Structure 1
């Protein structure tokens, strides 16, 4: 169980876990997304997912920022959140009440247990945004994990996974390799300075059994408020030649992040 801190700046509330800001919720403006990678998750949904309500499964909950955004932008969307820390969820519900009429259901289970309990083809979108001690857990980056996610996705379904890595993208490249083998088609979205290896940062992995619409994704990235780019799986492989998928036998969490407010540069 993790003790959460809630830092307030007007209507914006940041949920801090293990010394790292994990979620930011604007109680007055649910469309506002403060964190860069969360903006990229939303960008991918808008660019690639079908119109109207979506069946979304979230692995990792924290402040429930993206579920709130989906509820706001896609009213009526049934959403499942897999968050094992029940005390955290209780604190978030108390400090950051969910909007009326939501269809967000939080299950107090870890990602592996929760995904294993879902029906084949039951999700239009699976969002993986899990943290433990400030790092992305090893078990949500393995080939076996992505095969389970592929089972849960409906035809045409979309996987979005938050990655974090240092310059060189060696860890991310292995995660991308596993997603590509399990799903077939993968792209990566991120800030230009992260994609170019100038600093530690977050990336969003996009995966699907069908071809990823790179034209729509790049068009959305070019229009983003932040300087955002798109890499193909081949682009990532060229950055880390020979990268092979993580498996349950050799999985590793993402690299340790720099101190809050600092950046690790090459």
Structure 2
């Protein structure tokens, strides 16, 4: 059987000559501007970047773990906005790693890339190692079940420092049942959790991405500043936290 169509590919954005789109099994996985790593096309990536911008003073170098590498959009962004950050990227697909290394600009030496499963990589990491863990873990259009439960989230919490933050991208469709379960799962482990998404998604009107942020210390998340930032996005976002997140969770149970 010919599996050529399963191979990842990078294509030029016809609307932006310096833009590159990573496709895996025909699904858009990442977007990189080879001339400007601060240009983020996908709205959910802008929301993750906004949270990453606000979790520490601007420009401060952080120790970061990326679960899911793709075209390394956020590692490139953080290398530009927080120079000197020690970033470790875990990507399961060696074909993606090879393609990106061959066809996209190289990253600074303080960014390392490992071909591994995300769960295995987190289990092997030392405790209290990272300031920030970002998870964008998909096989095609599906998030693997072994990185969605309390056991995995507990391991993520273990590798974060006391003030560390976990950012998670979730793809969902109305009525956002999977997202509600993920909120419950994060809240079973972390003291502070919030959600940001396109307001139309929160009204149950479209399929798309939800970004969840979690921290071990109550009050750690920069909720007010993040709400203001995502509201100003070209695709305005809403933020749920506290009582509004209670209502959204609506009886969903952790997995």
Q: CA deviation at 1:237?
A: 4.2
Name the residue aligned to 1:20: 27
Find the partner of 2:143 among 132, 136, 140: 136
Change beyond 3 A, Cα 1:236–1:164: farther
**Structure 1 residues 240 and 188: CA distance shift in structure 2, 3 A:** closer
Q: CA RMSD in A?
A: 1.5
Is 1:226 paired with 2:235? yes
2:71 matched to 1:63? yes
Is the 1:168–1:240 Cα contact (8 Å) retained in structure 2?
A: no
Q: Residue 235 of structure 1 is aligned with which of 235, 244, 247? A: 244
8 Å contact 1:177–1:233 — kept in the other structure? no
- Asked if structure 1 preserves the Cα contact closer than 8 Å seen for 2:128 and 2:160, the reply is yes
Shift of residue 106, structure 1, vs aligned partner: 0.7
State the 1:66 CA deviation: 0.5
Query: Displacement, 1:114?
Result: 0.4
Mapped to 2, the partners of 1:177 and 1:240 lie a distance apart of 7
In the alignment, structure 1 residue 93 sits paired with structure 2 residue 101: yes
5+ residue gaps, structure 2: none
Name which structure has the greater RCO, CA cutoff 8 Å, separation 6+. 1
Matches within 5 A, 1:171-250: 171-210=178-217, 211=219, 212-232=221-241, 234-246=243-255
Aligned residues: 245
SS at match of 1:167: coil
Find 1:38's aligned residue among 41, 45, 56. 45
CA distance in 2, matches of 1:239, 1:136: 21
3-state SS of 1:182 partner: coil
Assess, with a 3 A threshold, how the Cα gap between structure 1 residues 115 and 179 changes in structure 2: closer, same or farther: same
* Preserved CA contact (<8 Å) 1:68 1:98: no
What secondary structure sits across from 1:229 in the alignment?
A: strand
DSSP 3-state at the match of 2:78? helix
Does 2:9 match 1:5? yes
Secondary structure at the counterpart of residue 52 of structure 2: helix
Corresponding residue of 1:156: 163
Contact between 2:9 and 2:99, CA under 8 Å: does it hold in 1?
Answer: no
Are 1:176 and 1:233, in contact at CA under 8 Å, matched by a contact in 2?
A: no
**What is the DSSP-based 3-state SS (H/G/I as helix, E as strand, rest coil) of the residue aligned with 2:165?**
strand
Counterpart Cα distance in 2 of 1:67 and 1:240:
31
Instruction: Tell me by how many angstroms 1:164 deviates.
Output: 1.1
Structure 1: gaps spanning 5 or more residues: 247-266
